[in-house]
Structures are given as structure tokens and as C-alpha cells.
Amino acid sequence: MITHLRLATFIVLLAGVDLAAAVALKESRLREAPLLFLAGAGCFVLLAVVLYNTVELTALTWISLGWVVIHQCMVMAVDRYWYDVTLTRVQVGAVAVALVALVVAALAGEADPG
């Protein structure tokens, strides 16, 4: 049985590895650096292997939902502060709605990790 804290930690770690892969791949294109491409691809392979070997089927929905929401928040933050991408109010609002929905669902007890 996965505890809520362990589930949340796992979700944040997955999102972090996913973000590292995305940034490495983006930087590999900007700098034309094949080693960064390999690092990013390696992170995605690591992500797939970890997911395949550790996820209990009962928690898969919440892991996926939390991972996607947290990953998108981190990608938007990296784009905003690292790559100087201007975010619209609609984009920021959409992320806020997604985060609030995730928190409300978790607090309502719907996020039973198994």
C-alpha cells in the first residue's frame, strides 16, 4: 500500500525527471549539443523504466494526473524565467485551475492511493 506522502513524493520525482529530460532536449536543440540530447533521452528512458517497475495499478490514475499537472507548472515556470517566454493570463489561470482541482480532489479523499 502506498501512503499519501510516498505517492506525492513519487509524483514530484517523476515530474522532476520529466522536466530534466525536457530541458536537456530543448537545450540540445538550442546549443546543437548531441550529449545533451543523449542525456535528455536517457532521462526519458529512466522515467519509463521507473514507471514500469514501480507503479501499482491502483495508484496509476493519481500518479499520472499529479505528474502531468506538476510537470506543466514546472515547464511553464522554466519557460517564463529561463527562456523569457511571456505567459498569458489564460495560461496562468488554466494552471491555477488544474492545481486547485488536484488539491480539492486529494483533500476530498478521492485520491485514495490504494
pLDDT in tens, 59-99: 666 777 777 788 888 888 888 888 888 989 998 898 888 88
What SS3 string covers 10-43?
Answer: HHHHHHHHHHHHHHHHHHHHHHCCHHHHHHHHHH
Q: Is the pTM of this model over 0.85?
A: no
The residue ranges of every structural domain in the chain are 4-107
